[in-house]
Amino acid sequence: SQTIHQWPATLVQPVGSPLSLECTVEGTSNPNLYWYRQAAGRGLQLLFYSVGIGQISSEVPQNLSASRPQDRQFILSSKKLLLSDSGFYLCAWTADSNQPQHFGDGTRLSIL
Amino acid sequence: DQQVKQNSPSLSVQEGRISILNCDYTNSMFDYFLWYKKYPAEGPTFLISISSIKDKNEDGRFTVFLNKSAKHLSLHIVPSQPGDSAVYFCAASERGSTLGRLYFGRGTQLTVWP
């Protein structure tokens, strides 16, 4: 069966520090991968998506970037975190666009 | 612009009764609709989906109804149980798109009390 892993579960970072969140999927090949952010009291906002290695698309301009160095690995990064980057970050995968997306357990990011 | 809306931020229901969660959408191109359940500090879990060619889909205690003319869908939980207490997100997508991007509502907090 397929599983998705995200780490770390929680992270506290100072403003201006770098960020790297990792997501890996097991049990499937060539998944579509997604990064979402949920701010307090808001729905899930799509940040990045990828349909293959090295193929990244961004939904909204922001202080973050994403990379897909391997088929089942998706990384969310920032060179310098802002206070507004605080939130709950979720990675998701799907086998294709006709299937539900499945989410990891998320990373709670707090910026001080 | 919110293309998927859940206008009730919270719902409280007694155990054993029916819970009805509502969702509206504005984009007529949406043809695939999903409900997710989310507990605190966890990612959303897929619950049930419905294609626009249907108007009802059942899975155990969960039934989703779709009214395309009204651009409205609802999730019915019968009977409700305390373990159903969670945030429920409605989502929609265009199945024909290669991305399969989901548009989410802001969620409804369901509380089922004994």
**Nearest residue in chain A measured CA to CA from B32:** A98
**Are B41 and A106 an interchain contact pair (Cβ–Cβ within 8 Å)?**
yes
Residues in chain A: 112
Q: Can you give the pLDDT at residue A59?
A: 80
Mutate to test the interface with A, among B38, B50, B89, B94 (most CBs of A within 10 A): B38
Chain A residue numbers touching B32 (CB-CB < 8 A): 98
Task: For chain B, say whether A11 makes contact (Cβ under 8 Å).
Answer: no
Q: Does A98 touch chain B (CB under 8 A)?
A: yes
Distances (CA, A) of A68 to A34, A37, A54: 11, 18, 5
Residues of A in contact with B45 (CB under 8 A): 103
Mean pLDDT of A107-112: 94
pLDDT of A101 reads 93
Please name the residue of chain A whose CA is at the shortest distance from the CA of residue B37.
Answer: A103
Contacts of A90 in chain B (CB under 8 A): 43-44
Per-residue confidence (pLDDT) for residue A39, from 0 to 100: 79
Which of A23, A105, A103 lies closest to A71 in space, CA to CA? A23
Q: Which residues of B touch A101 (CB under 8 A)?
A: 46, 100, 102
With a cut of 70, say whether residue B99 has pLDDT above it.
Answer: no
Mean pLDDT of B12-29: 97
Least confident segment among A51-55, A105-109, B95-99: B95-99
B73 CB-near residues (< 8 Å, 6+ apart): B22, B23, B25, B33, B50, B64, B65, B66, B67, B90
The pLDDT score that the predictor gives to residue B81 is 97
With CB atoms and an 8 Å threshold, state whether A51 touches B97.
no
Q: Read off the pLDDT band of B76 (50, 70, 90).
A: very high
pLDDT digits (tens, 9 = 90+) for B52-70: 999 999 999 999 999 999 9
Q: Are A87 and A106 in contact (CB under 8 A)?
A: no
- Strands A73-78, A65-70: pairing is antiparallel
Which one of A57, A100, A105 has the shortest CB-CB distance to B42? A105
A62-106 per-position pLDDT tens digit = 789 999 999 999 999 999 999 999 999 999 999 887 789 999 999
The gap from C-alpha A85 to its chain's centroid, in whole angstroms, comes to 13
Task: Flag whether residue A105 sits within 8 Å of chain B, measured between CB atoms.
Answer: yes
pLDDT at B3: 92
> Quick one: average pLDDT of B73-77?
98
pLDDT grade, residue B98 (50/70/90)? low
